[in-house]
Amino acid sequence: MRNLKERSYVRKIWRYDGQTSGDEEKADEAKEKLDATLLVVEGAGGDIKIEITGNRELKKLSIAPGLQHGGKEELEEQLRITLNKAIDQANTLNEAEMKKAASGLLPGLT
């Protein structure tokens, strides 16, 4: 009797996996869109510019020459602030895209 229950459980998993192929496609499309979306975030009055994708991949970091000659601690602090700002914006974009991709998967998920 136990084997029948185990087989039934395996069958249910297989059916569920078969139904997710369209959902996986939506998630892949969302990831591709996020990879192609570039956020440009400035800090330190425009002296620091960060380019980051919606998937939180840092693409470019620019520091104005004037800020490079300042104190090390000031530069580190401005970089930290600007990087956190860029990551926050990328997280917000990423969460919104993933919610769109997940809509309709399971009730109450979005």
pLDDT tens across 15-74, in order?
445 555 567 788 889 999 999 999 999 999 999 999 999 999 999 999 999 888 888 999
Of 20, 21, 22, 16, whose CA–CA distance to 8 is shortest?
Answer: 16
Q: Is the pLDDT of residue 7 over 60?
A: no
CB of 100 closer than 8 Å to CB of 34: no
pLDDT of residue 20: 53
CATH classification for the domain delimited by 2-102, as one of 3.20.20.210, 3.30.70.100, 3.40.50.10440, 3.30.1310.10 = 3.30.1310.10
CA distances from 56 to 7, 13, 22, 60 (A): 42, 33, 25, 12
Q: Is the pLDDT of residue 81 over 90?
A: yes
CA distance 3 to 109: 33
CA distance 35 to 87: 14
Altogether, the residues listed in the chain come to a count of: 110
